[in-house]
């Protein structure tokens, strides 16, 4: 169990670092989809109450929504936007990765006191990794120019929160799990629609040019 | 069952309104649902709140007040909306500020989302389970985002994007906070229900609880518009149609406040009420001061109203954080603020329709050109700045009394300073709009005939203004009791 958990942690870490370094939007979308699969497996391996039908079905639904439906939606939203191929961050890729390494150190330090109350059969790195995923998501939201990347950053952040929940073996009731999944789905769905409209209205999705409203 | 109908009726009506066959009856459906919702809420609220332990859905004392506010304000907004949609009918409209043409969102989606917005806000009020509460608060964001981009042009899309992204990211922090709560309650509390957590809070790990409250404060504080997480609020409020701004400001912010109160209740039950209360007061005072400063040089009257909302949310946070009398005052203040701010945004919608500008310099002589809206605008100024005889005077004074009773001298001083600054700043904006005549026009008024003021656009704000006036003169005893119960439900009385 420990080995599987460690492999999953490494996969999650690498996917975060790759997200910080990837320059093509489609590659970012694929990575986020891969992340969804990884966190589904994490949820399955760390389910506290064993693999009941409810747990499995909710996790599979999460994997399907975050790994298949949402990436498809986001890819659709930028279809026809030729300008939207490259990420064009405010902070360069090399710097991003270096910052990512710093964030990882911070999450390990911060998670130190939290780890003691985690269940025993979860990898000790799981909680720092989930915090790292959350911080990576925030970093992407703040430093990426394209609206689509910001939406991806939100998804990464959400993934991090999800992993945090499953690494602490917090068992949400079925209804709540489903509600959270529905909310994330609709959130990205609406974001996709708005990105599509922004693209049509402005012929770009660069959020730094969305700066008319200010004081 | 009664409880569920409060959510289900608007939800079903909202989905129905999006369907094409409903085109002819869409507006009647909106008003009918609002009336039905109001009636149901009245019934639910007058029944004594019964909260059994570990129930997921119930209406307790604070939720009762927020739900009643939401429902009444929605009714006023729905009536106003009928006139608004009639005015906005047609495929293309000319932008009020920059003069370009744009399309409106399909009316079905707008009305449908309005009703879904009501459903999600009602859902926030009846949730006793923290996880579901989160789901409901996020649902309010998603239901209201399409409302902000009703006018499809570059400014509204910008505002919608900021709203959606900032609030979603903020709310994700609240979810993390809820996981912290669950982790703190592991082995002590059976689940994440409010009553379950409250009854076992004393045994929980205080470090986890404190961390959880900070995350909840960031998350729901973003939604509530507390500074420094307020940045989405002025943009969304200024670019949304006025009727939506009224709902965002008067109803949605209160719902986020309710989410924050839930967290505060748990901390208070764990004996950490002073920690969470101090944080609330800190952010509240900061919001008040910041909003007052930003109002000083404001040239856009809808943005000014938005900053005023931030200020009043700050007042609510201060009141709730201080506890005791001030918490009762905060409940009263939520009620007053929603009535007055709803009225002001609806009046601002009338001004925008006639003057076609959000700039204060272009809007002058309102009292002469639009007598009724002008009077409302002037009365709204007096009310929102907390002048007697309006209700905000009473509630602001109650909160001040709470601060002085607890000898929080610094808080009281900053509170008064912010209120004073806001008064001066708003007077500079409101009074010229109401009185000054456009340059070079004769004073007899014959050359500027009053514009038409349809009943739909005047009566709802008038009713809200009357409500605020009545609350200032006389608060019925049962209402006081309800508010005192709500304040004591926070557990810090």
Over residues B175-229, the pLDDT tens digits come to 999 988 888 877 777 778 888 888 888 888 888 899 999 999 999 999 999 988 9
How large a percentage of chain A has pLDDT more than 70? 92
Q: Tell me what pLDDT residue A121 has.
A: 58
Q: Domain count of chain A?
A: 1
Q: With an 8 Å Cβ cutoff, is A212 touching chain B? A: yes
Cβ–Cβ of A141/B169 closer than 8 Å? yes
Greatest Cα pair distance in chain A: 54
Inter-chain CB proximity B135 and A179 less than 8 Å: yes
Look at B131 and A180 and tell me if their CB atoms are within 8 Å. Answer: yes
Two tokens at A114?
Answer: 């939290």
Assigned domain for A11 exists: yes
Say which of B129, B146, B161 has its CB closest to residue A210.
B161
Q: Do B221 and B240 form a contact (C-beta atoms < 8 A)?
A: no
Partner B contacted by A172 (CB < 8 A): yes
Q: How far is CA A11 from CA A6, A46, A165, A191, B49, in A?
A: 9, 16, 18, 27, 50
Residue B128 contacts residue B60 (beta carbons within 8 Å): yes
Name the residue among A117, A165, A180 with its Cβ closest to that of B135.
Answer: A180
Rounded Cα distance between B258 and B6, Å, is 17
Q: Residue A173's pLDDT is what?
A: 78
Distance from CA of B135 to the nearest CA of A (A): 6
Residue A13 lies in a domain: yes
Residue A212, preceding peptide bond in cis (omega within 30° of 0):
no
Q: How confident is the model at residue A123 (pLDDT cuts 50, 70, 90)?
A: low
Chain A CB within 8 Å of residue B206 CB? no
Taking one residue from A and the other from B, the number of pairs with CB-CB distance under 8 angstroms is 112
According to the model, what pLDDT value does residue B417 have?
95
> CB of A110 within 8 Å of any CB in chain B?
no
β-sheet bridge partners, residue B103? B92
Cβ-defined contact of B161 to A186 (cutoff 8 Å): no
User: Binning pLDDT at 50, 70 and 90, where does residue A172 land?
Assistant: confident
pLDDT level of residue A180 (50, 70, 90 thresholds): confident
Could you say which DSSP state residue B438 is in?
P
d(CA B411, CA B283): 11
Residue from A157, A113, A111 nearest A135 by CA: A157
Q: What does the pLDDT read at residue A23?
A: 84
φ, ψ for residue B221, nearest 5 deg: -65, -35
Q: Residue B120: closest CA among chain A residues belongs to which residue?
A: A183
From the CA of A55, how many Å to the nearest CA of chain B? 17
Nearest alpha-carbon partner for B338 in B359, B370, B315? B315
State the average pLDDT over residues A9-17. 92
- Any domain includes A214: no
Task: Report yes or no on A191 lying in a domain.
Answer: yes
Report domain extents, chain B. 2-489
Q: Which residues of B touch A175 (CB under 8 A)?
A: 132
First to last CA, chain B: 32
Answer whether A141's CB lies under 8 Å from A150's CB: yes
Q: Does B298 touch chain A (CB under 8 A)?
A: yes
Let me know if residue A106 belongs to a domain. yes
Q: Tell me whether residue A192 is in a domain.
A: yes
Residues in chain B, pLDDT under 70: 48-53, 90-94, 96-97, 99, 438-451, 492-493
B61: its two tokens: 């004392």
Calculate what percentage of chain A has a pLDDT beyond 90.
31
pLDDT score recorded for residue A2:
73
Which one is predicted more confidently, A48 or B80? B80
Omega prior to B389 cis, within 30 of 0: yes
For testing the chain B interface, which of A213, A214, A215 should be mutated: the one with the most B CBs within 10 Å?
A213
Nearest 5°: phi and psi at B450? Answer: -60, 140
Give contacts of A141 with chain B, Cβ < 8 Å.
165, 169
Within-domain flag for A119: yes
- Cβ(B334)–Cβ(B254) under 8 Å? yes
Task: Please tell me the distance in Å from B164's CA to the nearest CA on chain A.
Answer: 7
In our burial notation (b when 16+ CB lie closer than 10 A, e otherwise), range B123-140 reads bbbbbbbbbbbbbbbbbb
Residue A34 lies in a domain: yes
Residue of A71, A70, A16 lying closest to A38 (CA atoms): A16
C-alpha B266/C-alpha B254 separation (Å) is 19
CA atoms lying within 13 Å on the CB side of residue B150 = 28
Query: What is the domain range of residue A144?
Result: 2-209
ipTM, two decimals: 0.92
Nearest CB partner across the interface for B154, out of A170, A182, A212: A212
């Amino acid at each position: 169990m420990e080995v599987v958990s460690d492999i999953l942690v490494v996969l999650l870490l690498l996917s975060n670092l790759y997200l910080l370094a990837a320059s093509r939007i489609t590659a970012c979308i694929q990575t986020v989809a891969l992340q969804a699969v990884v966190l589904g497996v994490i949820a399955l391996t760390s389910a506290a109450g064993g693999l009941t039908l409810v747990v499995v079905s909710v996790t599979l639904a999460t994997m399907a929504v975050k790994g298949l439906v949402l990436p498809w939606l986001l890819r659709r939203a930028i279809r026809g936007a030729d300008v939207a191929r490259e990420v064009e961050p405010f902070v360069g890729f090399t710097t991003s990765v270096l910052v990512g390494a710093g964030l990882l150190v911070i999450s390990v330090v911060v998670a130190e006191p939290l780890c003691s109350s985690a269940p025993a059969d979860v990898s000790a790195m799981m909680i720092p990794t989930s915090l790292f995923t959350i911080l990576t998501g925030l970093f992407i939201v703040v430093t990426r120019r394209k609206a689509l990347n910001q939406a991806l950053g939100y998804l990464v952040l959400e993934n991090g929160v999800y992993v945090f929940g499953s690494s602490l073996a917090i068992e949400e009731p079925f209804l709540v799990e489903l509600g959270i999944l529905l909310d994330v789905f609709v959130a990205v769905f609406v974001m996709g629609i708005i990105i599509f409209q922004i693209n049509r209205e402005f012929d770009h999705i660069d959020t730094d040019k969305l700066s008319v409203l200010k004081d | 069952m009664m409880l569920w109908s409060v959510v289900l009726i608007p939800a079903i009506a909202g989905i129905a309104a999006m369907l094409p066959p409903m085109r002819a009856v869409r507006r009647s459906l909106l008003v009918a649902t609002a009336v039905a919702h109001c009636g149901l809420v009245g019934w639910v609220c007058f029944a004594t709140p019964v909260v059994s332990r570990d129930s997921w859905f119930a209406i307790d004392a604070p939720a009762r007040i927020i739900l009643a506010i939401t429902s009444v304000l929605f009714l006023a907004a729905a009536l106003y909306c009928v006139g608004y949609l009639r005015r906005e009918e047609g495929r293309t409209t000319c932008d009020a500020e920059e003069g370009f043409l744009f399309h409106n969102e399909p009316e079905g989606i707008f009305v449908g989302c309005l009703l879904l917005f009501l459903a999600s806000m009602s859902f926030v009020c009846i949730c006793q389970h923290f996880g579901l509460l989160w789901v409901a608060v996020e649902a309010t964001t998603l239901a209201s985002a399409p409302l902000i981009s009703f006018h499809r042009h570059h400014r509204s899309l910008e505002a919608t994007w900021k709203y959606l992204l900032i609030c979603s990211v903020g709310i994700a922090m609240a979810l993390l906070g809820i996981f912290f709560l669950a982790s703190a309650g592991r082995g002590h509390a059976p689940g994440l229900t409010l009553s379950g957590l409250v009854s076992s809070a004393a045994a929980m790990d205080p470090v986890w609880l404190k961390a959880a409250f900070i995350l909840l404060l960031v998350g729901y504080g973003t939604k509530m518009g507390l500074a420094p997480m307020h940045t989405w609020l002025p943009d969304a409020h200024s670019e949304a149609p006025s009727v939506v701004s009224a709902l965002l400001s008067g109803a949605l912010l209160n719902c986020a406040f309710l989410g924050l109160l839930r967290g505060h209740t748990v901390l208070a039950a764990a004996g950490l009420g002073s920690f969470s209360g101090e944080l609330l007061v800190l952010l509240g005072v900061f919001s008040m001061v910041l909003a007052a400063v930003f109002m000083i040089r404001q040239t856009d009257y809808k943005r000014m109203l938005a900053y005023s909302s931030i200020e009043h949310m700050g007042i609510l946070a201060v009141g709730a954080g201080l506890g005791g009398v001030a918490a009762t005052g905060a409940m009263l203040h939520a009620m007053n603020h929603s009535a007055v701010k709803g009225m002001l945004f609806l009046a601002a919608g009338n001004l925008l329709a006639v003057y076609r500008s959000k700039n204060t310099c272009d809007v002058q002589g309102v009292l002469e050109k639009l007598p009724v809206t002008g009077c409302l605008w002037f009365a709204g100024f007096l009310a929102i700045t907390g002048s007697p005889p309006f209700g905000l005077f009473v509630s602001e004074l109650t909160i001040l009394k709470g601060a002085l009773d607890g000898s929080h001298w610094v808080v009281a001083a900053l509170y008064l300073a912010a209120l004073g600054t806001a008064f001066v700043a708003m007077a500079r904006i409101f009074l010229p709009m109401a009185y000054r005549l456009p340059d070079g026009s004769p004073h007899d008024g014959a050359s500027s005939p009053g514009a038409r003021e349809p009943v739909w656009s005047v009566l709802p704000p008038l009713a809200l203004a009357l409500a605020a006036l009545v609350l200032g003169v006389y608060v019925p005893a049962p209402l006081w009791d309800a508010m005192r119960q709500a304040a004591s439900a926070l557990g810090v009385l």
